[in-house]
A and B are shown apart, each in its own frame.
Chain A
Amino acid sequence: MSAKKEFNVKWGMAIDLDKCTGCGACMVACQAENNLAPQADASNKLRVMNWLVVFELSNNKAFPDHETAYLPRPCQQCAEQPCATVCPVVATERNEEGGIVSQIYPRCIGCRYCMAACPYHARYFNWFDPIWPKGMEKSLTPDVSTRPRGVVEKCSFCHHRFMKAKDKIRAKGGEVYVRGVDNKMHCAVPEDGYVTSCAEACPNGAIVFGDLNNPDHTVSKLVRGNADAFRLLERLGTDTAVYYISKREWVRRLGDNYVPDEETQKPRQILPKKH
């Protein structure tokens, strides 16, 4: 594994599981934004293409003590990617300011090593040609290329929106990266200038998006020192950019594999840093 890259800007998410009702608006908004093709039978989850999936969680207690919660799962944008390290053709990497893991479809050979490697099942193999019902291709956005059959796809944190936000600044003669009051470089894109499609769509405000390294951004305020925030499978040391928030301990415990008498951990890095 190559050395972990640190960036001045680290786009990240905080998903409040106490607010998510599992309505699916984020999933539909994601598909429309990223030009995912519809599928007539979407019940075979081994064949269906989704970049963002809402899972149902249960506290596993019997009625009437049962509680339920919903967990939207985009690509976790790991800083230590299990996927990129196994890609034989460097079709996926995390190499750009912002720390988003890229996926380059024309380069992907469809070997699916990355899917096997991803502990979050966030990667999907494209089993079908991207075909829309006649005429519906007119509703495609120009922002994201359609992907041919036989490649692996995943959530990009709506990277194209980041590109557009940067262009907006550049076209007005501005600098994209500026030094903040904390003497660190920050992205000049305003906090609401780059938001993923799912975060934008959510009517409950369950998804907060921003720069985890920018202390002024809500997302970084929400996750720093918040014992109610956690990441999925923290112990793998993937150092993901997606945090989840819940005041319910049973929800937090589902974020990792705990033995029954083990205490729920706070967000932390468990594997020793390599550098």
Chain B
Amino acid sequence: MEENRHSADSATCRPKCISGLVPFLAGLVPALLFGWLVFPGLLFSKADEPFYFSHSTHLTKGGATCADCHRFRDDGSFTGVPQRETCLSCHDGILTPEPGPKATEVETAAYTAEKTFMEGYVKAVRDIPWVTHQKQPDNVFFSHAAHFSKCYTCHLTMKDKLSLGSPEDPQKLCMTCHPSTAELDKGQAPELNILTGYSRSTLKMSECERCHAHPGHFYDDGKGRTVANNACYTCHK
């Protein structure tokens, strides 16, 4: 009885094995596709900025630098996302000419944005509810001053990939952690994680640790300290 069944099974083994894979793959492949292609999209919702804002326009046409709007205060703190007063130092009126019939999409958008800004926020004396791309949690202490001084000065002398910018290209340091201006302009609407509320481009601790926990940073710089300390209190509050 035992033997009989065994022989019968082995006779049909080969086609059965193949057909056994099919349902497995039928489960596996859609799961992979869903997990890698669809799920990331489902996890994020888009949050529109209050009005159109182009970093590139400000940098090229406006001739501004990052530090013109994102600056340090006297007490060493960083202003981060600017508010009305910063904008008003240049935008004392609507600077974009009123779009004619031949105006490009960008020109029209810029005009509308400036108009919204002037009427909806300056005249109404209302703070602009910017949706931030990279807001850190409350328990994180991020010091722009530390990164500007320590990382920048040290890496200035390093070549190639290790360089974090140069006097000619100071923005490179910003772009080490922040999305490039081109990226920011492309995705006007930050994608917010529906569970956590943080934007997709928010740095996670693992990304901080790429530098902070980098073995190359754990040496004595001759002044009795290690560079890019990875102690908990370096970043947490």
CA distance A122 to B134 in the complex (A): 35
Of A36-44, A99-107, A215-223, A236-244, the segment with at least 4 beta carbons within 8 Å of chain B is A99-107
Q: Please classify the interface of chain A as helix (H, G, I), strand (E, B), loop, or mixed, using the class held by over half of its residues.
A: loop
**In the complex, what residues of B have CB within 8 A of residue A105's CB?**
139, 236
Cβ–Cβ contact B146 & A93, under 8 A: no
* Cβ-based interface call for A67 (8 A): no
Cβ–Cβ contact B234 & A96, under 8 A: yes
- A93-B232 CB under 8 A given contacts A143-B237, A146-B138, A167-B76: yes
* Cβ-based interface call for A170 (8 A): yes
CA distance A220 to B231 in the complex (A): 25
**In the complex, what residues of A have CB within 8 A of residue B150's CB?**
170
* Cβ-based interface call for B39 (8 A): no
Q: What 0/1 pattern do residues 118 to 140 of B give for CB contact below 8 A with A?
A: 00000000000000000001110
Cβ–Cβ contact B231 & A95, under 8 A: yes
**Smallest distance from the beta carbon of B90 to chain A beta carbons, Å?**
23
Q: Please classify the interface of chain B as helix (H, G, I), strand (E, B), loop, or mixed, using the class held by over half of its residues.
A: loop
What's the tally of chain B residues with a CB closer than 8 Å to chain A? 26
Q: What 0/1 pattern do residues 215 to 237 of B give for CB contact below 8 A with A?
A: 00000000111000101111011
**Smallest distance from the beta carbon of A109 to chain B beta carbons, Å?**
15
* Cβ-based interface call for B34 (8 A): no
Cβ–Cβ contact B224 & A185, under 8 A: yes
What's the tally of chain A residues with a CB closer than 8 Å to chain B? 33
* Cβ-based interface call for A265 (8 A): no
Cβ–Cβ contact A171 & B225, under 8 A: no
CA distance A183 to B76 in the complex (A): 28
**Smallest distance from the beta carbon of B156 to chain A beta carbons, Å?**
14
Closest to A98 in B: B233
- A167-B237 CB under 8 A given contacts A185-B223, A185-B225: no
* Cβ-based interface call for A116 (8 A): no
- The 6 A-B residue pairs whose C-beta atoms are closest, nearest first, are A167-B76, A96-B231, A171-B76, A168-B76, A95-B231, A102-B233
A-B contacts, 11 listed (Cβ < 8 Å): A8-B225, A95-B229, A96-B232, A96-B234, A100-B233, A143-B237, A159-B233, A160-B141, A170-B150, A171-B74, A173-B149
